[in-house]
Amino acid sequence: MPALYNLFCQHCQAPGTDLSLPESFAVIGVARREKTDESFRAELRESVERFSPDTFDGETWRQFAPRIRYHRTDFENLDGFKALGKRLADEKLPQNCLFYLAVQPDSIITVIDQLRASGLARPDGGRQPWSRVIIEKPFGRDLASARALNERLRTAFSEKQVFRIDHYLGKETVQNILVLRFANSLFEPLWNHKYLDHVQITMSETIGVETRGHYYEQAGAIRDIVQNHVMQLLSLVAMEPPASLDPDAIRDEKVQLIRSLRPIPADAVAGSVVRGQYAAGEVLGKAVPGYHQEEGVAPDSGTETFVAFRAFVDNWRWAGVPFYIRTGKRMPARVTEISVHFKPVPQVLFNNPPYGPMQPNVLAMRIQPNEGIALQFQVKRPGAATRVQASQLDFSYAEEFGAAAPEAYQRLLLDAALGDATLFTRNDEVEAAWQFVDPIIHACEARPAAGIPGYAAGTWGPSEADALIESDGRRWTVLRRHEHHATEEHGRMGARAHGRA
């Protein structure tokens, strides 16, 4: 709702542009609880005021509110869906319909079936009004269930009508990956195994499972983050240049990349994948409980809250270049960063004692927070003695463009309304991603729950994750802004504690 409200503000400021909502639109909430249009509006006003305090304005809300309605039905009740269709006609509401399924995963198929049976899901094309559907992750919980969901969707909607949200794709910094790679002649010629040593992706959260313990128990970090967000980042950073900016041209290349990932079969999982589970600890100065103590979590749960793995892309561009991925909850900082590490310079001149060894060049894309891009390179420290030091060129979105970038959902909801599917995940993309993670999940789930390594909340994961990358002679890194010793390295050599769950 904050995203829709902000789109409406854009509409008020610049009506009729292709980046605002159309003049005539309505938002209808559908659920079981007893509410009137008025009580629903009051509830939403409170949320929008709270979550969009910078843009909330009483007068704009007064114009927005009459467009909001509430329709009460149980998803199981077909008559409720038919009544919704009748209401659209009786109240002369716009007939183009975008159904946004912000529902629990086990309700998705029920709602799709009802949309089809009630006639609300209209076939694509022709002269009649369009209907589209937005689905939130998770898109299934393995390859078989994702396929079943896609098949069921096909009975009601064509693929062109389906918009699968991965909110990472709505982020400016994620969209900028393609601009950085393909609108600059500087980087793309170097973007391959000849010049790059390896790529790292870090997606860390400081929060735990919050109130979603029940959900998380069934998911874990691989299903919750790797299958979707990580695969999206990985495919954008590693895909081949698309033939055009057409949504399908881009998505074709992304799928191709995911399909080029070298499978990690069950017997290789132990050597390439590390899982972890947070124990009690301290995050941002606050004592926090361990995963087993969280509400909705089984005391002997084997669900992972951290995963790190090494992947390879089997194509000509990436031959032999490892991709190190790590994601976890209750880490010391909230960071999403992709770093591209260049090959070290030869051990001559400055890369030898007494000057070296030197840190290699790193290009880091900070997806969130401190959105920006940093390039680490070597400079001479002023003075008679030759001393080499790593420094950074740093681009910051906030410094360059001022106001915070629009929220991801704002862009995604507008694109779905405009029918532009570029930033949404296609069915074959979802299935290719499951095809890669399924064997990893199966191999992990076959192991005893008690064997999962622990890490103290507030640390960068279990020591096994450091050992994974250090056995290849590399270290986990996150580039920090505006600091002389720019690279923060995480490893057993660093001053950090490890714990066991």
Residue type, 165: I
Q: Establish whether 498 is a catalytic residue.
A: no
Nearest distance in Å: CB 389, ligand NAP = 42
Among 31, 65, 83, 109, binds ligand NAP (CB under 6 A): 31
Cα–Cα distance between 242 and 256 in angstroms, integer? 11
Select the span of 26-34, 37-45, 292-300, 377-385 touching ligand NAP (CB under 6 A).
26-34
Tokens of 412: 């995604």
Q: Which of 75, 191, 278, 323 binds ligand NAP (CB under 6 A)?
A: 75
For residue 122, the minimal CB distance to ligand NAP (Å) is 22
* Integer Cα distance of 486 and 466 in angstroms: 20
**SS in 3 state form for 180-225?**
HHHCCCCCHHHCCCCCEEEEEEEEECCCCCCCCHHHHHHHHHHHHH
Q: Which is nearer to ligand NAP, 368 or 396 (CB)?
A: 368
* Nearest CB to ligand NAP, comparing residues 105 and 302: 105
List, in order, residues 6 or more apart from 323 with CB less than 8 Å away. Answer: 198, 199, 200, 201, 234, 238, 310, 311, 312, 313
Binding pattern to ligand NAP, positions 85-114, x when CB under 6 A? -----------------xxxx-x-------
- In the complex, the smallest distance separating the C-beta of residue 6 from ligand NAP, rounded to whole angstroms, is 19
Contacts of 43 (CB under 8 A, 6+ apart): 35
> Considering only residues 14, 15, 26, 32, which one is a binding residue for ligand NAP as defined by CB under 6 A?
32
Nearest to ligand NAP of 73, 391 (CB atom): 73
Q: Does 214 bind ligand NAP (CB under 6 A)?
A: no
Contacts of 430 (CB under 8 A, 6+ apart): 139, 140, 146, 150, 164
Instruction: Please identify, using beta-carbon distances, which residue of 32 and 485 lies nearer to ligand NAP.
Output: 32
Q: Which of 229, 341, 490, 498 is catalytic?
A: 229
DSSP 301-348: ----SEEEEEEEB-STTTTT-EEEEEEESS-SS-EEEEEEEEPPPPSS
Contact region with ligand NAP (CB under 6 A), list: 3-11, 29-37, 396-404, 425-433: 29-37
For ligand NAP, which is the closer residue by CB, 40 or 455? 40
Chain Cα centroid distance, residue 35:
33
Answer for which of 136, 240, 428, 489 binds ligand NAP (CB under 6 A) is: 136
At 179, is the secondary structure helix, strand, or coil?
helix
**Among residues 32 and 481, whose Cβ is nearest to ligand NAP?**
32
The span from the CA of 106 to the CA of 152, in Å, is: 13
By the rule CB under 6 A, 379 interacts with ligand NAP: no
* Angular region, 330: left φ>0, alpha ψ -120 to 50, beta rest: left
Let me know: does 297 contact 209? Beta carbons within 8 Å: yes
CA-based R_g, the chain, Å: 24
104 vs 184 by CB, closer to ligand NAP: 104
What is the nearest approach in angstroms of ligand NAP to the Cβ of residue 393? Answer: 35
Closest distance to ligand NAP from the beta carbon of 295 (Å): 14
| Least CB distance to ligand NAP at residue 33 (A) | 3
Q: Which residue number, 221 or 388, has a Cβ lying nearer to ligand NAP?
A: 221
Number of residues that bind ligand NAP (CB under 6 A): 12
Site for ligand NAP in 305-334 (CB under 6 A): none
Q: Which has the closest alpha carbon to 141: 258, 227, 48, 259?
A: 227
Interface stretch with ligand NAP, choices 28-36, 125-133, 199-207, 353-361 (CB under 6 A): 28-36
Q: Which residues of 358-367 are buried (b: 16+ CB within 10 A; e: fewer)?
A: bbbbbbbbbb
Q: Does 36 bind ligand NAP (CB under 6 A)?
A: no
Contact 131, 157 (CB under 8 A): yes
Question: Least CB distance from residue 205 to ligand NAP, whole Å?
Answer: 12
End-to-end CA, the chain: 39
Nearest to 142 by CA among 435, 458, 420, 467: 435
Tokens representing 87? 């209401």
Among 17, 23, 33, 403, binds ligand NAP (CB under 6 A): 33
Q: Please tell me whether residue 372 adopts helix, strand or coil conformation.
A: strand
83 near ligand NAP, rule: CB under 6 A: no
CB nearer to ligand NAP: give 116 or 193.
Answer: 116
Q: Which positions from 154 to 193 touch ligand NAP by CB under 6 A, shown as an x/- string?
A: ----------------------------------------
By CB under 6 A, residue 381 contacts ligand NAP: no
What is the binding site for ligand NAP (CB under 6 A)?
31-33, 74-75, 102-105, 107, 136, 212
Residues designated catalytic: 229
